[in-house]
Amino acid sequence: MEDWRKRVGENVRRLRLARGLSQERLAFDSKIDLTYLGGIERGRRNPSLMVMVRIADALGEDLKALIA
């Protein structure tokens, strides 16, 4: 597995669902657009460091959890 965008996306989705959150809700909490978050989860975006930090924060996770 070498596609890191996909990997991050899967982690975001997994952690989000584990908390019972909708994309809409996580998008709101991390202050990014709903459709943009969807793109990240599907591995179609190449998010910046700070965007990933915002998502990790909103999930109550360390950044490490997104690239595990």
Partner DNA sequence: ATGTGACTTTTAGTCCGTA
Partner DNA sequence: TTACGGACTAAAAGTCACA
Task: List contacts with its own copies (CB under 8 A).
Answer: 4-5, 8, 46-50, 52-53, 63-64, 67-68
Those residues whose C-beta lies under 8 Å from the C-beta of residue 34, and which sit 6 or more positions away, are 23, 24, 27, 28
**Alpha-carbon gap, residue 54 to 43, rounded angstroms:** 17
Cβ atoms of 1 and 47 closer than 8 Å: no
Say which entry of its own copies, DNA, none residue 4 contacts (CB below 5 to 8 A, set by partner kind). its own copies
Say which entry of DNA, its own copies, none residue 1 contacts (CB below 5 to 8 A, set by partner kind). none
Say which entry of DNA, its own copies, none residue 18 contacts (CB below 5 to 8 A, set by partner kind). none
Give me the least distance between CB of 50 and its own copies, in Å please.
Answer: 5
